[in-house]
A and B are shown apart, each in its own frame.
Chain A
Amino acid sequence: MRVRRSEGLLLLPGLLIVGALLMLPLLWLLALSFVNDGAISLVHYKRLIDDPSYIKSFVVTFQIAGTVTALGVLLGYPLCYWMLRLTPLWRGIAMVCVLIPFWTSLLVRTYAWLVLLQRRGLVNSWLQDLGLIHEPLSLMYNVTGTIIGMTQILLPFLVFPLFASMQRVDQDLLRAAAALGASPAFAFRKVFFPLSLPGLMAGALLIFVLSIGYYVTPQLLGGGSTIMVGQLIQRNVELFNSWGAASAVSVALLAIVLGLFWLMNRLVPLDRVFGG
């Protein structure tokens, strides 16, 4: 595509902002990660490989992100499918129910989960009242709490692209499938699901990427025994004042995420996921 020079000038502010506020700090980060005590060194990267706690953090982070993504898909897909079948009024109400938590501050929602999940919280007392459990479950200050909180907080990021993608599926295609002899289950499997897949992939990818760098919720609900990568970076800066170590972790995380993107792009072209 050819852009005239005057039109090209319009791009300048955007390019400046991206360049100055994103690319430069990233390059700075990259540079910092190779510096130790004023000298060029690979010691920060060596630590990533040598120190088992670092590796564990990465593994745990990807496990949590994977679990949150899987739970998001399992909860979000039926939710969207159900919303699609509501009358416009009820669909609007359901959408608002998804939106209100989305608009609510992350911190507020995380503290709300603290109230719900604590030993004598609403969830435990209900489960006990119903006779389902005798002892309160430990639902917070562990990975379970982190996963519950993150799934709820990140669910809207799956619901929006997925619902939009489902709405775009031409209803005539489902009628055509039925007319051609497809049972509702066959039509879902062969027509509706494949056509909603780009939205599902986009949503799942959003949740996964956001999960990997998540900080606030694991910090408050996770209890500190398992450390996600986001927390690891923060600790390196706050506790050990080691910008080099924090930068190396950040760069490694970024590299892994970009690698995953590349891999996924090979499997499902991303322009089909995000381009519609």
Chain B
Amino acid sequence: MQRANDVSDTAPLQPLAISVRGATKRYGPMVVLDNVSLDVQPGEFLTLLGPSGSGKTTLLNIIAGFARPDQGSIFIDGEDVTDTPPHRRGIGIVFQNYALFPHMSVGENVAFSLKARGISRLEIGPKVERALSIVKLGGFGERRIDQLSGGQKQRVALARAIVFQPTLILMDEPLSALDKQLREHMQIEIRALHERLGATTIYVTHDQREALTMSHRVAVLNEARIVQIGTPSEIYNLPANGFVADFIGEGVLAPVTRCDEHSVLLQGLRMVTTQPLPSSGHLVLVMRSEKMRLAKPSDENCIQAVIRKRIFQGESYVLFAEMSDGLKFTIRQPAHADSDGLVPMEGDHATFSLHPDHTVVVRRDGSAMTKNS
């Protein structure tokens, strides 16, 4: 019963859909957002993923109302809010640096949005306490902000963003200031919180693992545009182009030429694939480290290489391999008693294979081939 109360008191009345239509933003000659359109479903957890300068924060600012697009419109639940000031959009925002009010207590921070809405003192108290207990900070209301740890500040920022039951929550790299362990813990917590509250959530990060961990869908941005939008497995397994393949996951993009409908040539080796092939353009093969394995006799798509380096990383080994014509790639092998003895040593010649289902070929699309120069 307690739980049911929690939800009804902080969950949005009705999660709303967000729609961005053809948003363009320029700062001087720089185009920071180039004709971006995006539809977010009610209750969805969508992540904007991209390197710094890709436009993800600008897109978030436009949705929040801190920046106005030069062209295009923003709709919340079908209503055009392009010219609505931020304080009338009813969006909960968690900032990268928390942006907690340093001159207020934890409780006053959380109560701020309720006071701004003129809600009576009698109602504010229980709502604040409930929001704090949802982020596991029950009883912290009297604390000063400078008495909190980084993780606790993050929780206060979350409580402050959800206490007024926003229909939409935006989070701008909210975990980037936390250490790895706490970050991974908070990722799971934010995900659980989202499942519990059900508010439509747009999350910004440059951390691919975070994006894959948390989201229903991921929108990958690069150079002011959305280059791909899809579920984490779509983004990871079927990248739309060389940039996405390069940005997400570990591995190498190797130039290939189209052979026929189902195969390409990698340095003269024929690689078959069950995945669709792009019909034109400069093609690259996505050689993910963990998709490569020591070839078994029956395997297709075998690649012979010499091991240049073998690094033990705890849960796995990374092998740096080089083909006879100089193409370098990496292989990740799990560290397990069953296979440890099979992991090749430095200087060994070995044959690796790439399953046709994992043989993904994409258009290079001018993205920098930093990993295989």
Q: Does A134 contact B (CB under 8 A)?
A: no
Q: Please, how many angstroms separate the alpha-carbon atoms of A176 and B93 in the complex?
A: 7
Q: Does B178 contact A (CB under 8 A)?
A: no
Contacts of B91 in A (CB 8 A): 179
Q: Does A273 contact B (CB under 8 A)?
A: no
B157's nearest neighbour on chain A, judged by CB, is A176
Q: Does B237 contact A (CB under 8 A)?
A: no
Contact (Cβ within 8 A) A181 B99: no
Contact (Cβ within 8 A) A181 B101: no
A184's nearest neighbour on chain B, judged by CB, is B87
> Nearest-CB distance from B255 to chain A (Å)?
44
A198's nearest neighbour on chain B, judged by CB, is B103
> Nearest-CB distance from A148 to chain B (Å)?
35
Q: Does B112 contact A (CB under 8 A)?
A: yes
Contact (Cβ within 8 A) B87 A173: no
Contact (Cβ within 8 A) B86 A195: no
Q: Please, how many angstroms separate the alpha-carbon atoms of A179 and B66 in the complex?
A: 9
Contacts of B197 in A (CB 8 A): none
A179's nearest neighbour on chain B, judged by CB, is B93
Q: Does B97 contact A (CB under 8 A)?
A: yes
Q: Mark A185-200, 1 if CB is under 8 A from B, else 0.
A: 0110011001100000
Q: Mark B75-105, 1 if CB is under 8 A from A, else 0.
A: 0000000000111111111010101111100
Q: Please, how many angstroms separate the alpha-carbon atoms of A179 and B116 in the complex?
A: 11
Question: Of A176, A183, A184, A194, which one neighbours B99 at CB under 8 angstroms?
Answer: A176
Q: Please, how many angstroms separate the alpha-carbon atoms of A195 and B100 in the complex?
A: 12
**What are 21 A-B residue pairs whose CB atoms fall within 8 Å in the complex?**
A172-B97, A173-B99, A175-B95, A176-B100, A176-B101, A177-B116, A178-B65, A178-B86, A178-B87, A179-B91, A179-B92, A180-B116, A180-B161, A181-B116, A181-B164, A182-B113, A183-B87, A183-B116, A184-B87, A186-B116, A190-B112
Q: Which 7 A-B pairs have the closest CB atoms?
A: A180-B113, A176-B99, A179-B93, A182-B116, A172-B99, A178-B86, A181-B116
Which residues on A are within 8 Å of B, measured CB to CB?
Answer: 170, 172-173, 175-184, 186-187, 190-191, 194-195
Which residues on B are within 8 Å of A, measured CB to CB?
Answer: 64-66, 85-93, 95, 97, 99-103, 112-113, 115-117, 160-161, 164, 170
